[in-house]
Chains A and B, each alone.
Chain A
């Protein structure tokens, strides 16, 4: 049996992409793979929305891209983080942390524990 996969909450795809790209220049397919591995198949990133997201981020100047050869010698479009992208990643991940902590607190309230 496959584990049930959750949909990605709205707006989090950009954050995940920024995080993966922050680890070093990487092409689209590798981003898709990494997201898949890291989330252990729990979170499904529809590949069809990966590239529009990448190009959107590039358009906004959060990502930059160069064509470089891969290990196999083929040319691929490698994305990297711009200074602005790095700033965005920081603020976004902080606000994500705050949000999940708050939601976690509420979900962890034991019954009757809330006075």
Chain B
């Protein structure tokens, strides 16, 4: 808060700094002239004694804590000058940045929509996966597909557990029979445990 008030008072402060130092220099010069020095030499010595008004002012600004603002302005102006000096390089840099930022945004948008967006599925925390295993082959690996009649059976008997979606193409295409089916209640964070559903025909 204090700092902001100081910022608004900055111009006044600069004027006062100038005024205070000028007063000092003039007084010192007058005293030296009174001692018999010629005005030119007196002024020179007074400035020397003070140690260079600009350096002193810089130190004073440091004390006051407004120097960072002036420095920032200077840096920005310097950057602007450099850009104007070499427009080709500036264009190159700006285009490079633009491309990089654009590519990042593009990838992020896709990844965000594909991986992180979950709002489109109702009851996401009760989502499950149905996997079929063929008993005849007694293979460990699950079947790639389940038949549509299977889907209808599941839908009828497991209503309370899951809202089955036909969205999966593999559910609707298979024509295999005689396999055991596991219903895996794979839920987010809270596994529902395996529930066995035997004897599909």
Contacts and interface: CB of A to CB of B under 8 A. Distances in A.
Whether A and B are associated in the same complex: the answer reads yes
Interface of A: 27-29, 32, 46-49, 51-52, 55-56, 59, 67, 74-77
Contacts of A32: 24
Nearest to A76: B23
A27 B19 CA distance: 12
> What is the interface of chain B mostly: helix, strand, loop, or mixed?
helix
A51 B52 contact: no
Contacts of A49: 51, 59
A52 B62 contact: yes
Given A51-B20, A51-B21, A51-B56, A29 B49 contact: no
Contacts of A52: 56, 59-60, 62-63
Contact of B64 (A29, A59, A76, A77): A59
Interface of B: 16, 19-21, 23-24, 26-28, 49-52, 55-56, 59-60, 62-64
Contacts of B27: 29
Contacts of B52: 48
Contacts of A59: 63-64
Contact of A46 (B20, B21, B51, B62): B51
> What is the interface of chain A mostly: helix, strand, loop, or mixed?
helix
B33 to A, nearest CB: 14
B28 A29 contact: yes
Contacts of A48: 50-52, 55-56, 59
A63 to B, nearest CB: 12
B60 A77 contact: no
B160 to A, nearest CB: 74
Given A47-B24, A48-B51, A55 B60 contact: yes
Q: Which 9 A-B pairs have the closest CB atoms?
A: A48-B51, A52-B59, A29-B27, A29-B24, A55-B63, A47-B50, A77-B20, A76-B23, A56-B63
A69 B99 CA distance: 64
A77 B24 CA distance: 10
